[in-house]
Chain A
Amino acid sequence: MKVNRKAAAVAAASAAVLALASCASSDRDSGSGSSSGGGGGGGTLTFGAAGAPAVFDPFYASDGETFRVTRQLYDTLVMFKPGTADMTPALAESWNNSPDGKTWTFNLRSGVKFSDGTALDATAVCKNFERWYNQTADGLAGAEYWSSNFGGSKVTKEPSLYKSCTPTSNKVVVQLNRVTSKFPSVLGLPSFSIQSPTAMDKYKANDLKGKGEGIAYPEYAKSHPTGSGPFTLEKYDTANQTITLKRNANYWGDKAKIDKLVFKIIPNESSRKQALEAGEIDGYDFPNPADWNSLKQNNDLKVRPAFNVLYLGLNAKANPKLKDLKVRQALMTAINRPQLVKSQLPEGAKVADEFMPDTVDGYNTSPTKYTYDVNKAKQMLQQAGAAGMQIELWYPSEVSRPYMPNPQKIFDAIKKDWEAAGLKVKPVTKPWNGGYLDAVDNGDASSFLLGWTGDYNTADNFIGTFFTETTNRFQTGQYPWGKQLSAELTKADSTVDEADRTAQYKTINNKLVTEYLPGLPISHSPPAIVFNKKVSGITPSPLTDERYNYAEIKK
């Protein structure tokens, strides 16, 4: 009996294995595919990514992990000069605008083809514009960059910045509903990549559905991205968390020197560092500042120019005492920003005097500066009748941003400084996506840590984003000057003449820190990216817009 039962079990098990084996066969090609298609040294570059990309259609994305991948797959009409945030031609060789600033004509590069063979011509470009504008309400919910830069779509009441797109032979004429300084820089954003209309139709690229708790993406966005970039998607091995891109041999620009670009997803930060040192990956992004020094010894640590700002937002709605400019200035004077920057932020970080970095046009070179002085801060508080006032200080948990690698440490430094000035600080923390941003948006946080990484080089992208709406995170509508600031920003943004515009922004920037002070600018801190010594050719970008077609890898 016993023997029989055992034998039966073994037989059943081996039958199952055999059945599996019969349908399992290796997909491997005999030659291991190292047929370097000319160019540089070939080879594979493996990059350690912190997270999985949401989709391969950048139009529906808003996160850096997605953009890092899609930047290699697609081109945009304009792009940013490697290592800077300034515009340079890409798919459009040149462009010009009408005197009223509302009609833009782009001259397209000729002979460019998408990886599926479709021609990248004026019609294809306009089809992309139309696609963006024709989004359904569901689609608009997924298209964050469109809705925050262009406003509405065809279905919404809110008018869009975009009016029309007309293809004429090799030219694209885009008409806008109003003048704005962000156009055409905004077209360099990865979200506005030009994608193949044929492939988008075939794989139903716009078929996006809100479903239960998340957004269900169409086939196109999940597995058939089709662009004209230096790489194409080979496979996304979800079980092993690796994305493999293949060199596009027909790329119109500088063809990739490596054969393959692999993104290996390693969520844990210290594991990425260890993997780099063990040679399992060739590079990774945003190394922990504490590791910079040791990484420099055997690797190539590239520090990007700081194109961000960390600020402490103030909100008088949640704490009426903050309505007094004296109090806000006292809070600023009480923070020892030089020490904070030195002890908590990486090398190369700077104290911020304005709400935007000095590389942006419109930066005021001689702004009013605040120097750290506890006693003066105490005095100012006394004068304002706010000595020993109580204030909530909010900071996010479970998050690390390029402008604040460790929010809790920055919070701690500010809390200590404020306490030294006699304030009673009440810490409040919530997870970034678990209530922090919601509370800040709702105006519940009287003082909060937040920041911004610029998308492109315009003042509007920084201070325009922060303060144009009066119901912004600082609730500037609360103040007597809120509407005025908003009007000043709108006026500057819609000024066609560049010199005039820049001058206006300079004035606004100085007013922002002297008369308004809706928040306290803290620092600009440079994020880094690190590669091992075998990798060369990559220029670190302030926009984290690194181009891997220039990468070379020594064997």
Chain B
Amino acid sequence: MVGVMLLLSLLLFVWLRSLPGGPASAICGDRCNPAKLAQIKKTLGLDDPVIVQYLNFLKRAVTGDFGVSTGVQPGRSSMEIFVERLPATIELGVLAMIIAVAAGIPLGYLAARRRGGILDGLTLTSSLLGVAIPVFFTAFVLKYFFAVDWHLFPISGRQGDIEATRVTNFFVLDGLLTREWDAAWDALRHLILPAVTLATIPFSFVFRITRAAVLDVLDEDYVRTAEAKGLSSKVITRRHVLRNAMLPVVTIIGLQMGALLGGAILTETVFGFPGLGDALARAFTGRDYSMLQLLILMAAATYVVVNLLVDITYAYIDPRVRTR
């Protein structure tokens, strides 16, 4: 995996530098002229051969130094920005996943149990719609009604004009830890709309996989055996059906973390939520090399880690793996 990451970072590095514009032009600004641009490039070391630049980058990257941002928050260390914004995106992603799972699994189970019923049809259609509607449009519509029109939720940002102490930078958690309940509540209110928007992506997958998995499991011999044994349906559901149906669901949750990261780019942009997705979108438009290198590598790394976690969880809940 390290090899893949190295290759990715080299590709990205060379590609970025082959493009016109970039940090030097951003710093040079509107009053730029070729002589000034050359001077800035020299200062930043952007006139060295690409391979020298890459080796320097690697040397610094090993120590955790990914350079200075030029577009997202100019002048600050990219790593600092990353560390500060990571909790925001995790908070958002986790809440979105909780919403998706909390809605998707019970609905999927019910839909499978009453296959062909009205509930089944309705939920199936809505889950398909979840895939068909561009997520940023969902965001616009939700924001328009719930925040602009009905004033139920705030419009953008992570927290309002409230004095809050920062401990972990997970704003909700911070509020709880420091007992600043109003700060925690305010942060949570800011999270809800973006999280619901983001949840539409994993929801449709969680729902459909749960439904399919429950249908599969209901046909398995051990469920039939359990039914024949006369076990109560509650016990069957809990011990046999749900537990076994959860395997593919956990897989899909893991897989969807990647998609969630992608969806966060759009959702955070619409809701002005200062997380990594917002940083990424602005790094692209601002041609912020150091931020882009860090974020894309981290996205790939996160993806790897999440998949690893899925494997571990898999081992934990799969009865077959456990008994071994």
Contacts and interface: CB of A to CB of B under 8 A. Distances in A.
A267 B46 contact: no
Interface stretch (B205-213, B282-290, B302-310): B282-290
A237 B171 CA distance: 12
Is chain B's interface secondary structure helix, strand, loop, or mixed overall? loop
A441 B34 contact: yes
Interface string A49-88: 0001011000000110000000000000000000000000
Contact of B161 (A144, A242, A266): A242
A213 B75 contact: no
Interface stretch (A19-27, A90-98, A117-125, A166-174): A19-27
A239 B88 contact: yes
Interface in B38-86: 39-40, 42-46, 56-57, 60, 66-77, 81, 84-85
Contacts of A138: 43
Given A62-B31, A262-B161, A430-B21, A20 B168 contact: yes
A213 B290 contact: yes
A433 B22 contact: yes
Contacts, number: 214
B148 A212 contact: no
A2 B135 CA distance: 40
B75 A215 contact: yes
A438 B60 contact: no
Interface in B142-161: 143, 147-148, 151, 154-161
- Most central of A32, A217, A465 by chain B CB within 10 Å: A217
A392 interface: no
B34 A442 contact: yes
Interface in A444-466: 452, 465
B32 to A, nearest CB: 6
B272 interface: yes
Interface string A180-195: 0000000000000000
B180 A217 contact: no
Interface residues of B, number: 83
B31 A148 contact: yes
Q: On chain A, which size bracket covers the interface?
A: 35 or more
B236 interface: no
A268 B178 CA distance: 31
Contacts of A27: 163, 165, 178
Contacts of A434: 19-22, 25, 287
Contacts of A495: none
A435 interface: yes
Contacts of A26: 165, 178-180
A332 to B, nearest CB: 24
Given A240-B158, A433-B286, A144 B274 contact: no
B21 A431 contact: yes
A144 B28 contact: yes
Contacts of A266: 156-157, 272
Contacts of B20: 430, 434-435, 438-439
B27 interface: yes
A161 to B, nearest CB: 15
A201 interface: no
Contacts of B30: 62, 437, 452
A548 B289 CA distance: 35
B75 A212 contact: no
A137 B34 contact: no
Interface stretch (A275-283, A294-302, A516-524): A275-283
Interface string A464-493: 010001010000000000000000000000
5 contacts: A21-B177, A147-B36, A266-B272, A435-B19, A437-B30
Interface of B: 19-23, 25-34, 36-37, 39-40, 42-46, 56-57, 60, 66-77, 81, 84-85, 87-88, 143, 147-148, 151, 154-161, 163-169, 171, 173-174, 177-180, 269-272, 274, 278, 282, 285-290
